[in-house]
């Protein structure tokens, strides 16, 4: 390859770096600035045109300096995040208790749901860090109910809370209590609250699927009805105790059948919070969180993610996580199915020029060799899984449909209207979605315009660099491996 080819690659990496820089995606920007420099430098070494070489050296210096600045911003941000976390997690165990899965998840990992995070801070974190505010008549919420369609982050929010605040965090699944402790389940609830009362630290008791304990007493029938009524009565009694003497306990319940909850229990959850389907900005954040910034994994730009976000109206957070998982598997499946692979040179943005890897290819590719991933002698260490592209995610969206129906959403909104005093919830959420859509589409248009301007200006100032304006070609270009 000649210098022109490397300059062309350098220019493309540079464009991606600038876009990421403008979008404040600094880790991505740093990676592409460095990659651009490396590509320009290789071009420089092969360039016989001395005046152009000198011009290029100056340019590379500028890009390196911007990469250094971006590195500084990343380091500053890291320091900031460290300060932001109030305290580390402390969790206590209890029988029939299920505690988070150990993965690091603070509120930062939760897309949207700002009103829920705010109420969690008021109910749990504020009384802990500013206890003097809660003396006398001002008391923190003792019961908070999270309700909404499945997969919208109710359980996930509780896990995040356990990481944000230094509290004893006890998480129980109500259906577990009912099934594991048949007949004795009210004793389990009693000892759970007693343990929490003894603790010197504030305690959050999170009861997932609270409707399976707290279903309306009138509707309880059959052989277990009596045991079930006793269990509910015990829970009501324990929750009463929480407010009067034991201010350090907060009970958080989660359900997707809020309307079935017994009225006495509903009253004890003084704060009821609707956890709706994610709006457009939250969907974008969920895509960003799930795809991450690993440019070896995918070639998705912010503009791509905005377009995908627009296609996923009505998807729950967990539907979107499934879409991402499906898209991430597509290139792997391509490798599974491939009957031919070809050798390519690796360009991973690091200093590994000269290393080769294997990518799947068509059976009639002149450089392809017949082999299968499951062959005994397949050199697994050389396999380069192609990156996830916009087209992959689009296919995943077509395959995974939204799991929550309109009727179900209406049911939750009705409860919110009736018991949270949110009279105009349907129109408020619709207006918010429209406003977010408008804002993001404007951002998309601005990104398109500025990318066009950059291309045009660099075409006029650097006529020797090859110009390309196809965004689809850009997706295809940004691959881990560059075929020879």
Ligand X SMILES: Nc1ncnc2c1ncn2[C@@H]1O[C@H](COP(=O)(O)OP(=O)(O)OP(=O)(O)O)[C@@H](O)[C@H]1O
Which residues of this protein are in contact with ligand X, per CB under 6 A? 110-113, 150-156, 254, 256, 286, 289, 317-318, 321
Closest approach, Cβ 315 to ligand X, in A, equals 11
| C-alpha span between 196 and 205 (Å, rounded) | 8
Between 117 and 154, CB nearer to Mg ion: 154
d(CA 42, CA 2): 9
Give whichever of 19 and 173 is closer to ligand X, judged by the CB atom. Answer: 173
Question: Which is nearer to ligand X, 168 or 256 (by Cβ)?
Answer: 256
The answer to whether 437 touches 310, Cβ cutoff 8 Å, is: yes
| Nearer residue to ligand X within complex by CB, 113 or 249 | 113
> Which residue is nearest to Mg ion, using beta carbons?
155
Q: Please choose which of ligand X, Mg ion, none residue 13 contacts, taking the beta carbon within 5 to 8 angstroms, the exact cut-off set by kind.
A: none
Partner interacting with residue 151 (select from Mg ion, ligand X, none; CB below 5-8 Å by kind): ligand X
How many H-runs (helices) and E-runs (strands) does the chain carry?
A: 18, 9
Q: Does 155 bind Mg ion (CB under 5 A)?
A: yes
Is residue 143 within 8 Å of residue 204, measured between CB atoms?
A: no
Closest separation in Å from C-beta 110 to ligand X: 5
Q: Which residue has the tokens 């029938």?
A: 221
Q: Which does 150 bind (CB under 5 to 8 A by kind): ligand X, Mg ion, none?
A: ligand X
Nearest to 129 by CA among 197, 204, 202: 202
**Least gap, CB of 178 to ligand X (angstroms):** 16
Q: How far is the CB of 256 from Mg ion (least distance, A)?
A: 8
Stretch that binds Mg ion, among 88-96, 146-154, 184-192, 315-323 (CB under 5 A): 146-154
Closest approach of ligand X to the CB of residue 173, in Å? 10
- Provide the minimum distance between the beta carbon of 248 and ligand X in the complex, in angstroms, as a whole number: 25
Q: How far apart are CA 189 and CA 367, in angstroms?
A: 67
Going from the C-alpha of 271 to that of each of 28, 155, 251, the distances in angstroms are 41, 17, 11
Give the DSSP per-residue string, 284-326. Answer: HHHHHHHHTT-TTTB---HHHHHHHHHTTTT--HHHHHHHHHH
Number of residues that bind Mg ion (CB under 5 A): 2
Of 97 and 396, CB closest to Mg ion: 97
- Could you give the CA distance from residue 53 to residue 56 in angstroms, rounded to a whole number? 5
Cα dist from 59 to 20, 41, 64, 145, whole Å:
19, 10, 9, 57
**Which of residues 148 and 360 has its CB atom nearest to Mg ion in the complex?**
148
User: What is the pairing mode between strands 481-482 and 340-346?
Assistant: antiparallel
Binding to Mg ion in span 316-335, by CB under 5 A: none
Of the pair 7, 107, the CB lying nearest ligand X is at 107
In whole angstroms, how close is the CB of 428 to ligand X at the nearest point? 19
Binding segment for Mg ion among 92-100, 151-159, 288-296, 301-309 (CB under 5 A)?
A: 151-159
Whose CA is closest to 254, among 168, 174, 163? 174
Contact residues toward Mg ion (CB under 5 A) are 154-155
């Amino acid at each position: 390859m000649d210098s022109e080819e490397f300059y062309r690659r350098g220019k493309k990496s540079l464009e991606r770096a600038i876009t990421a820089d403008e979008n404040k995606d600094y880790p991505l920007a740093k990676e592409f600035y460095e990659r651009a420099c490396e590509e320009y430098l290789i071009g420089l070494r092969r360039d016989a045109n001395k005046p152009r070489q000198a011009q290029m050296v100056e340019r590379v210096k500028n890009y390196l300096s911007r990469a250094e600045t971006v590195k500084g911003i990343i380091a500053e941000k890291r320091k900031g995040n460290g300060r932001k976390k109030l305290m580390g997690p402390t969790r206590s165990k209890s029988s029939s208790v299920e505690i988070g899965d150990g993965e690091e998840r603070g509120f930062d990992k939760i897309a949207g749901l700002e009103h829920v995070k705010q109420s969690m801070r008021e109910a749990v974190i504020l009384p802990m860090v500013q206890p003097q505010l809660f003396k006398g008549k001002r008391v923190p919420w003792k019961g908070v109910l999270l309700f909404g369609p499945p997969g919208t982050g109710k359980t996930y929010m509780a896990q995040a809370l356990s990481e944000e605040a230094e509290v004893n965090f006890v998480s129980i699944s109500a259906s577990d209590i009912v099934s594991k402790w048949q007949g004795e389940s009210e004793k389990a609830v009693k000892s759970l609250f007693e343990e929490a009362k003894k603790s010197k630290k504030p305690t959050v008791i999170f009861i997932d699927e609270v409707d399976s304990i707290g279903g309306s007493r009138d509707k309880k029938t059959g052989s277990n009805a009596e045991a079930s009524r006793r269990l509910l009565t015990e829970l009501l009694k324990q929750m009463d105790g929480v407010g009067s003497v034991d201010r350090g306990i907060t009970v958080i319940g989660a359900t997707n059948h809020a309307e079935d909850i017994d009225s006495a229990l509903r009253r004890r959850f003084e704060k009821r919070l609707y956890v709706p389907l994610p709006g457009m900005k939250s969907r974008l954040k969920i895509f960003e969180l799930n795809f991450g910034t690993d440019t070896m994994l995918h070639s998705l730009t912010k503009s791509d993610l905005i377009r995908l976000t627009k296609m996923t109206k009505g998807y729950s957070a967990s539907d979107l996580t499934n879409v991402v998982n499906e898209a991430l598997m597509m290139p792997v499946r391509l490798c599974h199915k491939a009957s031919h692979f070809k050798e390519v040179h690796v360009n991973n943005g690091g200093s590994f020029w000269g290393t080769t890897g294997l990518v799947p290819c068509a059976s009639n590719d002149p450089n392809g060799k017949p082999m299968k991933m499951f062959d005994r002698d397949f050199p697994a260490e050389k396999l380069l899984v192609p990156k996830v592209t916009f087209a992959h995610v689009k296919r995943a969206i077509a395959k995974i449909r939204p799991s929550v129906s309109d009727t179900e959403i209406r049911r939750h909104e009705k409860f919110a209207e009736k018991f949270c005093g949110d009279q105009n919830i349907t129109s408020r959420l619709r207006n918010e979605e429209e406003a977010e859509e408008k804002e993001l589409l404007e951002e998309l248009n601005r990104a398109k315009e500025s990318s066009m301007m950059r291309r045009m200006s660099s075409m006029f100032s650097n006529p020797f660099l090859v110009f390309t304006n196809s965004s689809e070609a850009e997706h295809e270009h940004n691959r881990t491996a560059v075929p020879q």
